[in-house]
């Protein structure tokens, strides 16, 4: 293989990886917003969240953020 082909392949893989990384970050951000929305707007989730915060003695925001993968 020529150097040119190898450089092109590496560049292609680098751009593909960056695209996947950006998509994953976007998805995680959306999941975080959805979780916060449920806790803020749904009484059942709000109650469960309050219990989890009390029992595990965690900061409310830490508890939500720790659910992220």
Domain ranges, ordered by start, for the chain: 3-65
* C-alpha–C-alpha distance, residues 56 and 68, integer Å: 17
Q: Which residues contact 39 (CB under 8 A, 6 or more apart)?
A: 45, 46, 49, 64
pLDDT computed for residue 69 by the predictor: 46
Q: How far is CA 41 from CA 2, 17, 19, 28, 55, in A?
A: 59, 36, 33, 20, 22
Task: Give per-residue pLDDT as tens, 15-59.
Answer: 888 888 888 888 888 887 888 888 888 888 888 888 877 877 666
């Amino acid at each position: 293989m020529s150097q040119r082909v190898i450089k092109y392949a590496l560049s292609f893989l680098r751009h593909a990886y960056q695209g996947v990384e950006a998509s994953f970050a976007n998805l995680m951000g959306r999941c975080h917003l959805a979780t916060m929305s449920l806790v803020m707007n749904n009484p059942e989730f709000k109650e469960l969240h309050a219990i989890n915060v009390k029992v595990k003695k965690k900061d409310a925001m830490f508890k939500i953020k720790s659910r992220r993968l």
